[in-house]
Amino acid sequence: MRSFKLFDRLLGRSAAPAPFVAGEALGAMQAAMEAGRSCILPKGAVIVPEPKHPEAERIAASIRDFPEDWGWTMKGYKMIHTPSGFVLWVANQDYGLAEVYSNGGKGDFSKPEQEIIWPAVEGWLARHKVGFTGRLPKARITGRSGTFWCFAKEYPWAGVGDSPEEAYRAWRHAISAQARNDMKPGEYLQVRGATL
């Protein structure tokens, strides 16, 4: 021991502790524990229990962290992890979650596994709602020489009519199946499609 460290120790002066490097310290502790030796954890260390259901944790983490990797194979029933081809049955919470096998069979997850996976699935479903909300997008109406056009950027259809109301009505019937319920029998509306 060097003399100035000895004096510091004898006089009760504390030297600055060495900086804690997480990777090095944890690697050394893990090696010691695997060898069967005891080790002292640094002050403030948090011990995280090993997951009891690692497969469920991985599925939930994938759905939460990489939602763009998931899509529908059957809307409202089956989700697919596109990179791996893993299919998950998510029809409703009462039935439960299940893995869909390539032969069409299903392997149900246990209740504790479902409790881990289902919140991530609900979050994904909330972002990827199925169906029409019933609300039409905002449309633009332009007119020239007595002919009016109605269109919206989201749809490749334009309604044409002699008045703004006729143009909007034609456009609305072109993009919404619900709006077609109020069409009169034998009524024809003029609609144009965009060329791509």
Which range of residues forms the domain containing residue 5?
A: 1-48
Based on the domain organization, do 121 and 61 belong to the same domain? yes
* For helices 54-65 and 111-127, angle between their N-to-C axes, nearest 10 degrees: 10
Q: Does 135 fall in a domain?
A: no
Average pLDDT over residues 99-127: 86
User: Positive or negative, the Cα torsion across 45, 41, 34, 28?
Assistant: positive
Question: Do 60 and 34 sit in the same domain of this protein?
Answer: no
- How high is the pLDDT of residue 24? 60
Residues with Cβ within 8 Å of 155's Cβ and at least 6 positions away in sequence, in order, are: 137, 174, 175
Q: What is the pTM of this model?
A: 0.45
Tell me the C-alpha distance between 157 and 93, whole Å. Answer: 38
Per-residue confidence (pLDDT) for residue 163, from 0 to 100? 92
Counted domains in the chain:
3
Contact 159, 143 (CB under 8 A): no
In a shared domain, residues 41 and 69: no
Q: Measured between alpha carbons, how far is 118 from 113 in angstroms, rounded to an integer?
A: 8
Domain boundary among 32, 48, 64: 48
Give the pair of three-digit tokens for residue 35. 């060898």
pLDDT of 55 higher than 70: yes
Final residue belonging to a domain, choices 30, 48, 66: 48
Q: What is the mean pLDDT of residues 176-188?
A: 77
